[in-house]
Structure 1
Amino acid sequence: MYAIVNIAGQQFKIEQGQEIFVHRLDGEEGAAVEFDQVLLVDQDGKVNVGTPVVEGAKVNGKILAHVRGDKVKVFKKKRRKGYQKETGHRQDLSKILIEKITF
């Protein structure tokens, strides 16, 4: 059984027991979260597609940790002008454990 869920503006294909990284969510570590924007549910080959969401479907999870992603380097250069600039960015993420999918 899997589902496609909209979490913080992104769509994820999830299964029960899976751990995923999403954009930083409000809430402390160990807090329970519930997602109700379930777009598709597949249960043993039977597919329910929402218009736009599946009615009554929910995904329950738990926030395991708040972490930061790998550093992404941003490098800018203009040739023959002597201009170079390098900056970096680390995204704030939340690690979530998917506990239950219900519909």
Structure 2
Amino acid sequence: MYAIVEIAGQQFKVEKGRHVFTHRLEGDANAELEFDKVLLVDNDGTVSVGAPTVKGAKVKGTILEHLRGDKVIVFKKKRRKSYQKSNGHRQYLTKVMIDDIVA
């Protein structure tokens, strides 16, 4: 069983017992979360597609930890103009364990 759910403006395919990395969510570690913007639910071949969401469907999860992603290097250069600029960025993430999918 899996579901397509919208978390923090992004869509994720989630399954029970798996974890996802999302943009930083509010809440402490071990806090319970409930996502109700479920767009699609597949229950062993029976697919329910919402318009725009599936009524009565919820995804329950737990925040495992808050962390930062890998460093992304942003490098800009204009040839023959003596212009180089280097910058780095690390995105703030939240690791969420999916506990249950209620359809």
Distance 2:66 2:44 in 1: 33
Question: What does 1:62-73 correspond to in 2, within 5 Å?
Answer: 62-73=62-73
Amino acid at match of 1:12: F
Q: Deviations over 1:28-86 (max 9, x none)?
A: 01100110000000001000000000001000000000000000000001110100000
Question: What does 1:1-12 correspond to in 2, within 5 Å?
Answer: 1-12=1-12
Q: Output the aligned Cα RMSD.
A: 0.4
Amino acid at match of 1:33: L
Q: Where do 5+ consecutive residues of structure 1 fail to align?
A: none
Give the match's secondary structure for 1:22.
Answer: strand
Give the equivalent residue in structure 2 for 1:25: 25
Tell me the TM-score normalized by structure 2.
Answer: 0.99
% identity of equivalent residues: 65
Question: What does 1:45-64 correspond to in 2, within 5 Å?
Answer: 45-64=45-64
Tell me the TM-score normalized by structure 1.
Answer: 0.99
Give the match's secondary structure for 1:97.
Answer: strand
